[in-house]
Structure 1
Amino acid sequence: MNFTFEFLEPYISYILLGSFILLVLYIRSFIVESGKISALKRRNKELIEETESIKKEHQLDISKRKYQYESKKEQYLNFYKIIDSFTTEANKKMKDQLIPILDKFYKDYLDAVERGNNREQNNAVTVMSKKMQQISFDSYEELMRLRQETNTIRVIASDEIIKKLDLLEVAYEDLMKRSDKMMTTLPALITVNDQKKMKELQKDIEISGRVVKSINEQIINLMRKELNEI
C-alpha cells in the first residue's frame, strides 16, 4: 500500500511557521531562564561576598571590643591599685609617724611639766607641731600624685565616671583639710586635755572617710558596668 503526503502540502507552511514560533518561544524561554539563573548566580555570589564582609566586620568589631575591654580593664585596675595603695600607705604612714611623735611629745612634755619648765613645755609643743605639719605636707603631696592619676583615667572614662571622680577629688580634699585641722590643733588640745574637741575632730575625719569610701564603691560599680557594656 502506497501512502502520500500530498494532502499535507497546504498545511506545511503553517506547520513550519508553528514550529518556528515554538522554537523562538523555546529559545526566548531558554534565554530568560538562563538570564534568571545567571542573575541568581550573581546574587548568590554577592550574598556570599556580603556575608564574608559582614563576618570580617564582625570579627574586627569583636577584636576592637576585646582590645577596648582589655585596655580599659587594665587601666581601671591600675587606677584602683593606686587608690588602694594611696589609702593603705597613708594609713600606715600616719600610724608609723604619728605614734612616735605622740610618744616623744608626751615624754618630753610631761617631763617638763614635772620639772615646772615652761620653756621645755613650749618647745615640746613646737616640735610636735612642726612634725604634724610635715605629715600634712606629705599627705598633700600624695594627694597631688593621686590627682594626676585621676586626670589620666579621665581620658578613657565615661562622663558619669568623670563626675564621680570630681566628687572623689572634693571628698579627698575635704578629708585632708579635716585631717590637717586635727594635726594643727592636736598639740594644743593635748596640753589642755580637751578630749571632747579631739573626739569631735576624730568624728569629722571618720565621716569624711566614709564619704570617700562610698564614692570609691560607686566608681567601682560604674567601671564594672562600663566594662560589661563593651
Structure 2
Amino acid sequence: MDISLVFSHALAFLIGALSLYFTAYTKAKGTNKALKEDIGSLESLKQQIITRHAEELESIKKQHQLDIEKRKFKYEDKRVQFSKYFRLIDEFNSKCNLVFIERFPQMLLRLL
C-alpha cells in the first residue's frame, strides 16, 4: 500500500503542477494576445494621425504657396510702377536740364 500511496501522491503532484503550468501558460497566452491587439489598434491610430497631419501639412503648404504667388504678383506690379515713376522723373529732369542749358547763358549775359 505504500507504493500506491506514493504513486497517488506523485500523480496528484504531477496533476497539480500541470494544472499550474497550463494556468500560467493560458494567462501568458492571453496577455500576449491582448498586447498584440493593443499594438494593432495603436498602430492603426498612429497611421490615422500620420495621414491627418500629412493632409494638414499639404493644405498649409498649398496655402503658403498661394500667398507667395500673390505676393510675387503684387511686388512685380509695384516694381513696374516704381520703374515707370523713376523713368518719368528722369525724363522730367533731363528736359529741365536742357531748358536750363539753353536759357542760362542768355540770362547770364543779360545779368553781366
Q: TM-score range with shorter-chain normalisation?
A: 0.7 to 0.9
Counterpart check, 1:39 vs 2:14: no
RMSD: 2.4
Counterpart check, 1:59 vs 2:57: no
Counterpart check, 1:82 vs 2:74: yes
**Structure 1 CA distance, aligned partners of 2:11 and 2:2?**
16
TM-aligned CA deviation for residue 92 of structure 1: 5.0
Counterpart check, 1:10 vs 2:2: yes
**Structure 1 CA distance, aligned partners of 2:97 and 2:37?**
87
Tell me how many residue pairs correspond in the alignment: 100
Q: Pairwise mapping of residues 71-220 of structure 1 onto structure 2 (< 5 A)?
A: 71-91=63-83, 98=88, 186=93, 188-193=96-101
What's the counterpart of residue 15 of structure 2?
Answer: 23
TM-aligned CA deviation for residue 87 of structure 1: 1.7
Compute the TM-score of the two structures, normalised by the length of structure 2: 0.76
**Structure 2 CA distance, aligned partners of 1:48 and 1:62?**
21
Which amino acid is the alignment partner of residue 71 of structure 1?
Q
Which protein, 1 or 2, shows the higher relative CO under an 8 Å CA cutoff with sep ≥ 6?
Answer: 1
**1:98-123: CA deviation from partner (whole Å, max 9, x where unpaired):** 4xxxxxxxxxxxxxxxxxxxxxxxxx
Greater C-alpha Rg: 2
Structure 1 portions without partners, runs of 5+: 1-8, 99-178, 194-230
- In terms of fraction of residues, the more helix-rich structure is 2
Deviation >6 Å, runs of 4+? none
Which amino acid is the alignment partner of residue 88 of structure 1?
V
**Structure 2 CA distance, aligned partners of 1:69 and 1:88?**
28
TM-aligned CA deviation for residue 68 of structure 1: 1.0
Compute the TM-score of the two structures, normalised by the length of structure 1: 0.39
**Structure 2 CA distance, aligned partners of 1:39 and 1:91?**
76
**1:163-189: CA deviation from partner (whole Å, max 9, x where unpaired):** xxxxxxxxxxxxxxxx6xx58x82543
TM-aligned CA deviation for residue 54 of structure 1: 1.0
Query: Helix, strand or coil for the counterpart of 2:22?
Result: helix
TM-aligned CA deviation for residue 93 of structure 1: 6.7
**Structure 2 CA distance, aligned partners of 1:190 and 1:16?**
132
